[in-house]
Amino acid sequence: MALLGIIPKNTSGLGNPVQTLQIYHEIGALPLRQVFLELNGGGKAVVGFSEPDWKLLSA
């Protein structure tokens, strides 16, 4: 629910933040990243991305 901007009032927290980031990455960041990667035409890399290291976040 936090992804929708809805914060429940009857709970003590928003759940697992790492899982929320992973879901946002899949449904929000990856599609947007594909749009930017289309700039990499003509054999020259203009835009690049690295994959997130989820282990660092859960430590």
Close Cβ partners of 59 (under 8 Å, ≥ 6 residues apart):
none
The confidence score (pLDDT) of residue 33 equals 92
Q: Is the dihedral of CA 12, 15, 8, 10 positive or negative?
A: negative
Question: Contact 8/1 with Cβ under 8 angstroms?
Answer: yes
Confidence of residue 17 (pLDDT cuts 50, 70, 90): confident
Q: What is the pLDDT of residue 6?
A: 64
Question: Amino acid letter at 53?
Answer: D
Residue indicated by tokens 């997130």: 52
The mean predicted confidence, pLDDT, of the chain is 80
pTM of the predicted model as reported, rounded to 2 decimal places: 0.65
Three-state DSSP class for 50?
coil
- What average pLDDT score do residues 13-31 get? 84
